[in-house]
Amino acid sequence: MVVNNNTWIADNGDGTYTNPILFTDYSDPDVCRVGDDYFMVASSFCNAPGLPVLHSNDLVNWKMISYAIEKIPGEQFDKPLHGHGVWAPAIRYHEGEFIIFFPMPDEGIYVVKTKDPWGKWDEPTCLFSGKGWIDPCPFWDDDGKAYMVSAFAKSRIGFKSVLNLCEITPDCLHMVDEGKHIFDGNIENQETIEGPKMYKRNGYYYIFAPSGGVKQGWQTVLRSKNIWGPYEHRNVLMQKDTVVNGPHQGAWVNTQTGEDWFIHFQDVYAAGRIIHLQPMKWVNDWPVIGEFKEGEESGKPVMTWKKPNVGETYPICSPEGQDEFDGESLGLQWQWNANPKAGWYHMDTESQQLILHAVKKDADTITNVPNLLLQKWFMPECHAVTKLNLSEMKTGDTAGMISMGVSFGAIAVTKTENGFVLKRISGEQEFANEAATAVDESVAIKQLSADTKEIWFTNTVKKVPSTSMNSDGPYTFPIPAEDISLGFSLDGERFEDIMTYPAKAGRWVGVKHGVFCYHEENGEAGKVGVEYFHYV
């Protein structure tokens, strides 16, 4: 692994790779292969566009290629609902179509399809309407019948650790029935079993599913000769003596050369749920994942390993982080804090800027402003710089840079009748009954001249020594710690840090950072130009 061109590179360039393959919060990944192409999807919660789709030719080097949904179904997502929205998806390729199942824990289970994953996806359809059904995965059997395996969210339905199987129509548009519970982890020492993925091999039905919880759990595999069970089970991947806690839910995928691999996430707190790739072997019709000794039923995560054999070598790459805003559309790294609306922005191809329009602020806290434009962390440490052009801001407009997690901070300028006021905004979100609340503390730092035309903002993420341990399960390990600093410059050369605070992850998500512009008065609103977003 190296940090190259200000991004994370897992490919070592010598035929090996080092985990994580993506130091990015692509939570709850699932993967499928079609020919020489691998496609990954991940959760996106209340951010839109949603359901990021990534592509790789070798399982190590990945690029974002599209989003499967432009907006989250439901008008309620016109405002941020942190921790709600699009949870763990599954992607499959069936009869010429790519099909994604995704759950919304308060609304139901949805299906979205396309024949071209680089292009536009169809509008999602609701397969099941109701609360508490999560983590759906479709499966088509040899006789043409189709099924869906899924789990349950205790916060919505009152119980968890149970897997359900039901029959659906092969086109994935209707449920034949609500099926039955096929595995109860509460009585099988597999508490919090969830995220099931179903496969078939050598006459056995297999369900891969994590158990034991996100921070301290392991990978469980169920198998049966009958799709309805009963299922026997084994723990096939555990943390053991490694630094990879979890390791949590993911996907089995085989290469075109016959190798087997497993992709999963590791929760690293503020940075979110980052992606690992593990070798996998079949022993007596049971999978064993990671590194293991002969006779062991469970492996342990590897850090550096030989790359998958996919028949040839492909270029090293990674998802984009930087943006010059010199195209006709936003880069795929960007998501809004809620469903976007027309008029929030436009791309000025002449000046090569992103123009953010000052949207009227009606939120009680900056974390609930819908038109925050955010992106994920792409590496464990970073220094992001953005340049804003202020010449078209109006009195009452505020524009700046934000870092958003449970602890949040922003640095901004507000246009007043007397010029500009530089200020910092900070606070901490609290979650109760699945709702987020926060109180902003806004402090004026200094008055800036009315002639100020441009300003630079910085966001620095720096790893610091851990001060606490996680000992809530079978393992004890240090909790990763980072400090976040926000600063500014009036000339692009001399920068001053304004605030520093400890990073804390958001609701099921890692910390995001980005830019914003809103209006807080009744008069005419203006706009701000964003020239670039760089990592230096």
Return the pLDDT at 238. Answer: 98
Residues 151 and 228 in one domain: yes
Cα end-to-end span (Å), the chain: 19
Mark which of 253, 285, 306 sits at the end of a domain.
306
SS3 state at 183 = strand
327, part of any domain: no
- Catalytic residue from among 11, 25, 28, 135: 28
Active-site residue, from 25, 30, 58, 194? 194
* Token pair listed for 58: 């070798």
- Domain of 376, CATH number, reads 2.60.120.200
Question: Over 60: is that where the pLDDT of 4 sits?
Answer: no
17 & 140 share domain: yes
How confident is the model at residue 7, as a pLDDT?
83
364 and 302 within one domain: no
pLDDT digits (tens, 9 = 90+) for 409-449: 999 999 999 999 999 999 999 988 778 888 899 999 999 99
Let me know whether 346 and 250 are in one domain: no
Verify that 244 and 98 share a domain, yes or no: yes
Q: Is 521 a catalytic residue?
A: no
Asked if 224 and 371 sit in the same domain, the reply is: no
Residue 325 domain-assigned (yes or no) = no
Print the domain residue range for 434. Answer: 335-535
Residues 443 and 294 in one domain: no
Residue 329 lies in a domain: no
Please tell me the pTM assigned to this model. Answer: 0.97
Domain count, the chain: 2
362 and 488 housed in the same domain:
yes
Flag whether pLDDT at 220 surpasses 50: yes
On whether both 256 and 393 belong to a single domain, the answer is no
Residue environment code for 281-310, b if the CB has 16+ CB neighbours within 10 A, otherwise e: eeeeeebbbbbbeeeeebbbbbeebebbeb
Q: What is the rounded CA–CA span in Å between residue 246 and residue 237?
A: 9
Residues 348 and 243 in one domain: no
Share of the chain above pLDDT 70, in %: 99
Does residue 453 sit in the same domain as residue 344?
A: yes
In 141-231, beta strands by DSSP E = 146-152, 162-168, 180-184, 197-201, 204-211, 218-224
Specify whether 392 is catalytic.
no
Q: Across all residues in the chain, what is the average pLDDT?
A: 96
Q: Measured between alpha carbons, how far is 253 from 41 in angstroms, rounded to an integer? A: 13
- Is residue 88 domain-shared with residue 236, that is, in the same domain? yes
Q: Is residue 315 situated within a structural domain?
A: no
User: Above 70 in pLDDT, residue 2?
Assistant: no
